[in-house]
Amino acid sequence: MVADTREQAQEQISELVKQLNGWAHRYYVEDRPIVEDYVYDKAYRELIELERLYPDLILEDSPTQRVGGQILSGFEKKEHEIPMLSLGDVFSKNELEQFDQRLSKMLVEKVDYSCELKIDGLAISLIYKDGVFVQGSTRGNGVIGEDITENLKTIKAIPLRLTEPVTLEVRGECYMPKKAFVGLNKKREEQGLPVFANPRNAAAGSLRQLDTRVTASRQLSTFIYYLMEPEKRGLRTQTDVLKQLHNWGFKVNLESQQSKNMEEVFKYIDEYQTKRADLPYEIDGIVLKADDLATHAVIGNTVKVPRWAIAYKFPPDEQETVVRLIEWTVGRTGTVTPTAVMDAVQLAGTTVARASLHNPDYLKEKDIRLLDTVKLHKAGDIIPEVSEVVLTKRPANSKPIEIPAECPVCNAKLVHLDEEVALRCINPKCPALVKESLVHFASRNAMDIMGLGPKIIEQLFAKQLVSDVADLYHLTFEDLLKLDNFKDKSANNLLTAIDNSRHNSGERLLFGLGIRHVGAKVAKLLMVHFKSLTKLVAAEEKEIAQLDSLGQVIAMSIVTYFNNTEVKKLIAELADVGVNLEYQGPNTGASVNNYFSGKKVVLTGTLDQLKRAAAKEWLEASGADVVGSVSKKTNIVIAGHDAGGKLTKAENLGIEIMSEQQFIEQMEAVK
């Protein structure tokens, strides 16, 4: 319920933030959700609405501040007051015993240990002032790291406000869960991008994104395990530190254990070497720390590592097997991927007989051939991966694998765009692509065919009623009655929605074709310039590349797509069934008379006369780049009432500020 007064809004916002953060803590930190998703979503939407009406009341720890949106120009250097040391590694239990003996001699007594899992991620430092998160950085070289505060704010496991107003620095590990790693690599493979070798590399790459929205989408998490100056908090052991960190609201690894002797340490190692594959995150060993914090100062550090801690690295779970076949499969976006089919082996508790080789470049780099003996392991304990070929066992008559030139499904010529590592089939009638292309074509931002979802498309395809998007416009009433649960009304409604889509402006059709790199915004820019799809099809790469914000990569993708014979046939079919190929939007393309052309514009506050979506659409059609946050690169801020922090920042930076009425006058001037 929206508040009637500002005071009520402030109270409601405070209560909602507290409630939502509590639910999120249970979900992301304690892994114990206490409300259903729809309950959280309802409260979150209420908060968004209140913050929209009262932007100056937005709290620093509001969950809405985690979504990202800033485009960073780079990362500032951050010098660590106390160096972030790395750990020394050992690889056998015998070496661990030697470590224990050294500590016992130094301290002239037996040592209790804090045993902790060694998370395979990226070391981070977090600084809080009066309980509020103010700065975060990478380890870097241990002395100087990089300030990645804005990216760390997007990670839901990191509290923006602690349970107490304490000022402190903590350190820990940022990691990518196994499930998120698999999903990210699958998406990158479909997009023709290089895949990440392991979750650690994926986490590191995600933290160093200049677009905070990318980091926010990567589902990163953290474990915090170190507190600077714990003695000032009256803490005496590392076990106590972990408990206190948890009480303050940090996510700590609950698998840690206090051990009284090496026998207990070895049991811990054996237990987690067995459990390793079942954990939702990757570990590559265990960390042993002297539990008594007072001994840390007594034993001290070397230049690089603490003497009171050591990392035991697990031996790799790797097996040799023989490659019997290389299969080439077509993914939903047309990427053609090689897969090695091998003799089955046991890895991390499962039987493995197949491993993706990702793309032709990867296959060539590893030089994997038929009948090769290869070493196989699981990247991130989940994805089977060939680490190397055992060349001493290679048959004398082996030959490199031949890279296919034609699609293994439809025999169309494959393309290999310059910026991609993937081979790609772009035949719009390839059976492997048709279903997904139909789903995209009918989606809201494309042709917006209401009622035509994935399940209905699956039926249309299975019953051979459609083989490409043009076939949608040949569907009859009788055809639709063949579908499950379709009666007269539902058939008529879908036919009406399909017929209405014929009249969409041409940029929707262009976006709906699913051309690589051509999103809704690029499609709009292209159609504003070329006015018709027919002219765009005939355009040369150079002309497209010269358009503002496009460039060579997008131009090459468009020209390659439209040079395909089947694509040309598809465009002709769409024209024949009456689908509009012309741009029907406002004739406000970027020109010398357009004040907004080529400028970065921010819309903020509440607009009285215009709808924000319509204002944004007009600006983009006029050649402006509408962005979500104010920075030094912003040219204009269009401010409605209750504009809040963005307006203040724009004033401080000396950026041009335009009222809604002034904006409307500029719109009128270019009509």
Question: What would the 3-class secondary structure string for 184-239 be?
Answer: HHHHHHHCCCCCCCCHHHHHHHHHCCCEHHHHHHCCCEEEEEEECCHHHHCCCEHH
DSSP H or E segment with residue 652? helix 645-653
Beta bridge partners of 600: 625
| 274 to 244, 268, 277, 316: CA distances (angstroms) | 29, 10, 7, 13
Q: What is the rounded CA–CA span in Å between residue 657 and residue 159?
A: 34
Instruction: Give the Cα separation of 286 and 291 in Å (integer).
Output: 14
Angle between helical axes of 454-462 and 431-442 (0-180°, round to 10): 140
**Cα–Cα distance, 562 to 526 (Å, whole number):** 14
Strand pairing of 132-138 and 122-129?
Answer: antiparallel
Q: Are 570 and 579 spatial neighbours (Cβ–Cβ below 8 Å)?
A: no
- Residues marked active site are found at 118
Strand 309-313 and strand 257-259: the pairing is: unpaired
SS3 of 102-121: the string is HHHHHHCCCCCEEEEEEECC
Provide the token pair at 382: 């989940």
Crossing angle, helix 262-275 and helix 93-107, to 10 degrees?
150
Q: Please, are residues 473 and 419 in contact by the beta-carbon 8 Å criterion? A: no
Helix spans in 276-359 (H): 294-299
Question: In whole angstroms, what is the distance from residue 225 CA to residue 223 CA?
Answer: 6
- Which of 44, 282, 249, 278 shows the shortest CA–CA distance to 157? 249
